[in-house]
Structure 1
Amino acid sequence: MSTENTAGHGLQEADGAEYVPAREDDIAERLAALSDEEARQRAEALRAGLEDYELDEEDAALLDRWEEGGPEAEDEPVPPVLAVVGRPNVGKSTLVNRIIGRREAVVEDVPGVTRDRVSYEAEWNGTVFTVVDTGGWEHDAKGIHQRVAEQAELAVDVADAVLFVVDATVGATSTDEAVVRLLRRKGKPVILVANKVDDITQEADAAALWGLGLGQPYPVSAVHGRGTGDLLDAAVELLPEESAHGGLIPRGGPRRVALLGRPNVGKSSLLNKLAGSDRVVVDDTAGTTRDPVDELIELGGRLWRFVDTAGIRRRQHMAHGADYYASLRTQSALDKAEVAVVLLEASEVLSEQDVRILQTVLDSGRALVLAFNKWDLMDEDRRYYLEREIDKDLAHVAWAPRVNLSAKTGWHKDRLVPALDTALESWDRRIPTGKLNAFLGELVAAHPHPVRGGKQPRILFATQPSTRPPRIVLFTTGFLEPGYRRFIIRRLRETFGFEGTPIELGMRVREKRSRKR
C-alpha cells in the first residue's frame, strides 16, 4: 500500500512552526561548484541505493515517469464565431446550453441574467466553432441596459454568422424589428430562430415570422431540443473554416489567465483596460459580472486568454439562482486556467473573502499573481506602511509576484505581463534530478532533520515527476515533520526560483527489504 503525504502550496500548517536552522550555510556556492555530470552520477548512486528498499509498482512508475521533450504544437487557426442575439428572455442562454451540450450559460427565468457577451467552444458534426451568448437587446435602452445592448452589437461585429432568436409565442415586437435593421446594416449572415415552438401545433407561430424579411424561420424548442439539429446544420453551412476576425493561435494556445477577486473590486474594468475596449459591462452595482467571459487579448506582443470571472460570493451554499451557477462557473474557469490574477483593493484591509479566494487558488495548484488595485490613489507615506501590512497579511503567499496598478486608468498595467511570465515559467519549471538530489544532500548535511524518539529520518532519493505546479516526491526512511518540509520548500524557492507557483512536496516512507538467509 502506497503512502504519500503531500505538503505544499506555501500554506501554513497548524502543526508546528517552520524549522529554523542553527547556523548559516554555503549550499549555493557548493551547488555552483558541482558539475552537471557530477550531480548526475551522485543521483544515479542514490537511485541504485533505493533497490535495497521495499518499492511498489507505483514507486517504479513515479521514478520512470518524466520524459523530456516531445513535438512542438503547430499554430492553430481561430475557430469561426457564431453569435446568439435577441431581446431579453427569448431563451438565448437556454439555446446556447443546448448547442454546447452542457449547462454553462447562466439561465434563470428573469430577463437580463446574461449581461456580457460570453464565449463557449462548441462542435457539430465535426465542425468546431465558438458560440457567443449575449445580453438581450432593449429598444431605447438606458443605463446598464444600454451598455448590454452595446455589448451585443460588438459581438455581432466579431461574429462570422448570427443566430437571431425570437419568441415565436409572442411574435415579432418593435424591438425585434429594430434588431433586424441593425443586423442588415452589419451585413453578416443571419439565421432566424423561432424559439419556444414546443410542438407541431405552434408551427404556425413560427411561420408568422417570415414577415421580418430574414428568410426561413427555424422553429426550435431550446428547452426540449426540438429542431436544434436542423438549425445547427444550417448554421455550420454558413460558417467559414476559420474566423475572419482571428488570426493564428500561437503554439500550444494562448496562456490562460483567470481574473479573480471579490465582487466590485475592478475585475471588469481591468479586463477592459487590457483589451483596449469596453469589453465587459461595468456598472457600480456589485456582481454585474455573472458568467466567466473569455477574451483573447494581445499583451506584450502575444495573445493571452483572459477569463473575467463572476465575483466570488461569501458562501457557495448561500448563493442562489444565477449567483449560484456563476460561482460554479468561477471554479470551472479557475480549473481551466494556468495562472490566476487575484485582484485586491489596496485601500482596504484584507477581507475574509480575499483570503478564501486565495485559498481556492492555492488548492487548485495554479500559478498566482497578486494585483493591488487603486494603488495610484495612495500617497507615498501610506504606500510604505501598506507594503509592511501586505507582507504580514500575505506571508503565506510571499512567493507570488505583486503588481500595483489601477484598473480604472490602466496605470502600471504593462507590469502585469512580466509578472505573468515569471509565474508561468516557475509553474512549468523542472529541476534536473541530479541537481535536485545534490541540493537536498547539501541541505540535509548542513541542517539535518531533528532527532525524534531516538530516530532521525533520512532522505534517500528525490524526483520531480511533474510540473504545473512543480511536484517533488521524497523517498525517506521516516516521516519528515511539517516544519522541516516547509523549510525545504523555502530553500527550494531561494535556490531555484519558483516565484509565482505553489510547490507540492510529497513523501514516501519506505522500509529496507528484509534479507533472506
Structure 2
Amino acid sequence: MTDDVAGPPDPDLSTDPGAEGAATPPVVAVVGRPNVGKSTLVNRILGRREAVVQDVPGVTRDRVSYDATWSGRDFVLVDTGGWAPDAEGMAAQIAEQAELAIATADAVVFVVDATVGTLDTDEAVVRVLRRSRKPVVLAANKVDDQRSEAEAASMWNLGLGEPHPVSALHGRGSGDLLDAILEALPEAPRSTEPVVGGPRRVAIVGRPNVGKSSLLNKVAGRQRSVVDNAAGTTVDPVDELVEVDGVVYRFIDTAGIRRRVKEASGHEYYASLRTQAAIERAEVCVVVVDASEPLTEQDLRILTSVEETGRALLIAFNKWDLTDEERRRYLGREMERDLVQFGWAEHVNISALTGRHVDRLGPAIEQALAGWETRVSTGKLNAFLGRLVAAHPHPVRGGKQPRILFGTQAQTAPPTFVLFTSGTLEAGYLRFVERRLREEFGFVGSPVHLQVRAREKRRGKA
C-alpha cells in the first residue's frame, strides 16, 4: 500500500514488536432452531443488514462470522444455521450443529422463540450446552411488547438462567442482551502478543489428519493429545509446555472439530477459525504437511495465513516414512511450483510416528525466531539501499524513474521496512528489494513486510 508524504520520515516509526493486534477478540456463537430469528438478531447486534434474513426456515446454511463492537469491546459474532427436527437422526443433527457452534466459542447466545415456547429440540440443545460448560446467554426472541414478557419468563424452565426478552426485529431489549453477552465473555481477551519472559509460543497447524497431534506427542515424549486415524479428532486446542534441546516452549496443538456424523457440515469452517486463532497467538508456526500426498489448496491457504499474519514459519513434511523415490521426486516439483513464495521458510522432513528427524525441529524453530526478531540499524539499511539503487536502479516508466530516497525498519516480529521513495515502485522491483534484503541480512523463517511511502516531486517551485 502506498501513502503520500510531504515531509521527511516521522521519527516515531519504530514500534514495539508485536504492537499490531494486541489481542484476539472473543468469539460469540448464536445458535437455535430454524426461524427463531438468529440472523435478524445478528443484524440487530451488528447495527447493519449483513446476514440474509427470510421468513422461512433454513436460509442460513453456512457459518458466517462478523466483527462486532459493544461498549468499546470487540468480539466476533458467528451466525449459525438452524436444524430441522427430523424423525430420523434428529438427535445426531442437533448434537452436530450445537457442538460445532459452541466448540470454538467463548460464549453462546441460545435463541428461542418466546411466542412458541420451548420445544423438544430446544431441550436437546440445552443438554449439549450444559455439557459444554461454556457461558450461555438465553435470548427469548420475538418479545415485541410488554405483554409478551410473561411468555419470555416461562423460559426459566430451561435451566440456563435468566431469559433476556428481546425483539430482534424492533430492537427492544437488545442493549440489555448485549450487556449480558459482555458479562459472559472472559475478562481478558486471548492475547496474540508473546508473553514477555515466558516460553516462546509454537503453534502446530495444518489440515486435518496430517499428524499434528502425533508430532506433539513425539516432541513431548508422552501421549498428550488424543491420536486417531480419522480426521478431526482434536476438539480443543492443547497447550503443552515442552522442553526441546534444553529450551522450554509452549506448544499449541490445533485441529478441526470432532465429527459426530458422516456429513459434518461446517467442520472445515470451524477448523479454519480455530487455526487462525492459534496462528495469531503464536510467535512461530510449524505447518505440518503430509509428504505422502500431493499438496492441497488448504495447505497453501494455511501457509499464506501464517505469512499474512506475520508469524515465523517452519514447514514440516510429515509421514516421510511413507514416501518412496517417485513420491519424493513429485514432491520436489510441487515445492518448486507451489511453494516458491515460501522459499524463505526452512523445510524439515520428519516422521512423527518413527521420530525421524524430529530432533531437527528445535534448531529450526530457534533459527526462525531469530530471523523474526532481526533488527537492521538505519545506517546499515541505508548503506545497503544506496548500493542496491546504484547497481540496480528502478526501470524507467513513462519517462519517470522512481528512486528509493531513505529507508527505516519500523518494527521487528515480523521485520517491517518503510521505504521513502520519489515515486511508486513496481511490485516486481519490490520483490527484488525483498530478495536482496534477505540475501544481505538473513530473515530465515520470517516474512518480510515492505511499505512504500511515495513523495511526488513538486513542480513550479522557485
TM-score of the superposed pair, with normalisation by structure 2: 0.58
Q: CA deviation at 1:172?
A: 1.0
Identity of aligned residues (%): 44
CA apart distance, 1:297: 4.7
Alignment equivalent of 2:123, drawn from 174, 177, 183: 177
> How far does residue 296 in structure 1 lie from its aligned partner after superposition?
8.4
- Once the two structures are TM-superposed, the CA of residue 501 in structure 1 deviates from its matched residue by 1.0
Q: 1:389 aligns with which of 333, 340, 343?
A: 333
- State how far apart, in whole Å, the 2-side matches of 1:141 and 1:409 are: 42
Report what 1:316 is aligned to.
none
Q: Which residue of 2 aligns with 1:196?
A: 142
Which of 266, 270, 280 aligns to 2:208? It is 266
1:226 aligns with 2:168: no
Q: Alignment partner of 1:58: what SS?
A: coil
Instruction: Map 1:285-300; keep pairs closer than 5 Å.
Output: 297=239
Q: Specify the alignment match of 1:433 in structure 2.
A: 378
Kept in 2, the 8 Å contact 1:268–1:308? The answer is no
Looking at structure 2, the residues matched to 104 and 410 of structure 1 have their Cα atoms a distance apart, in angstroms, of: 49
Query: CA–CA distance in 1 between the matches of 2:137 and 2:25?
Result: 19
Contact 1:94 1:105 (C-alpha < 8 Å) held by counterparts: yes
The runs of 5 or more residues in structure 2 that have no matched partner are 218-223, 243-247, 258-265
Question: What is the rounded CA distance, in whole Å, between the counterparts of 1:412 and 1:98 in structure 2?
Answer: 53
Q: 1:166 offset after TM fit, Å?
A: 1.9
2:448 matched to which residue of 1? 502
Give the CA deviation at 1:174: 2.0
Q: 1:378 aligns with which of 313, 322, 328?
A: 322
Please state how far the C-alpha of 1:359 moved relative to its aligned partner: 7.1
Judged with a 3 Å threshold, the aligned counterparts in structure 2 of structure 1 residues 130 and 408 are, in CA distance, closer, same or farther, namely farther
Displacement of 1:60: 0.7
Deviations 1:268-304 (A, max 9, x none): 98599879768xxx879xxxxxxxx996855656668
| Residues 172-181 or 140-149, more deviating | 140-149
**Aligned 8 A contact 2:152 2:165 in 1:** yes
Corresponding residue number in structure 2 for 1:52 = none
Secondary structure of 1:209 counterpart = helix
Residue 8 of structure 2 aligns to which amino acid in structure 1?
A
Alignment of 1:257-406 (within 5 A): 265-266=207-208, 270=212, 297=239, 346-349=291-294, 364=308, 366-367=310-311, 369=313, 371=315, 375-376=319-320, 378-382=322-326, 384-386=328-330, 388-393=332-337, 394-402=339-347
Cα distance in 2 for residues equivalent to 1:485 and 1:391: 23
After TM superposition, give the deviation of residue 369 of structure 1 in Å: 3.4
Instruction: Give, in angstroms, the shift of residue 358 of structure 1.
Output: 6.7
Instruction: Return 5+ residue gaps in structure 1 as ranges.
Output: 7-55, 285-292, 311-321
Deviation of 1:466 after TM superposition, in Å, equals: 2.4
**Is the 2:424–2:452 Cα contact (8 Å) retained in structure 1?**
no
How many residues are aligned here? Answer: 422
For the residues of structure 1 that align with 2:187 and 2:81, how far apart are their CA atoms?
27
Provide TM-score, normalisation by structure 1: 0.53
Measured after TM superposition, the shift of residue 460 of structure 1 is 7.8
Distance 1:59 1:187, change over 3 A: closer
In the other structure, the counterpart of 2:8 is 60
How much is the aligned-residue C-alpha RMSD, in angstroms? 6.6
Deviations 1:23-75 (A, max 9, x none): xxxxxxxxxxxxxxxxxxxxxxxxxxxxxxxxx9635125x4544669x99xx
CA distance in 2, matches of 1:349, 1:368: 24
2: distance between equivalents of 1:187 and 1:358? 33
Write the deviation string for residues 196-246 of structure 1: whole angstroms up to 9, x where unpaired. Answer: 334556545424434445565322133543212223445556778569x99
Q: Distance in 1 between matches of 2:74 and 2:186?
A: 11
1:489 aligns with 2:420: no
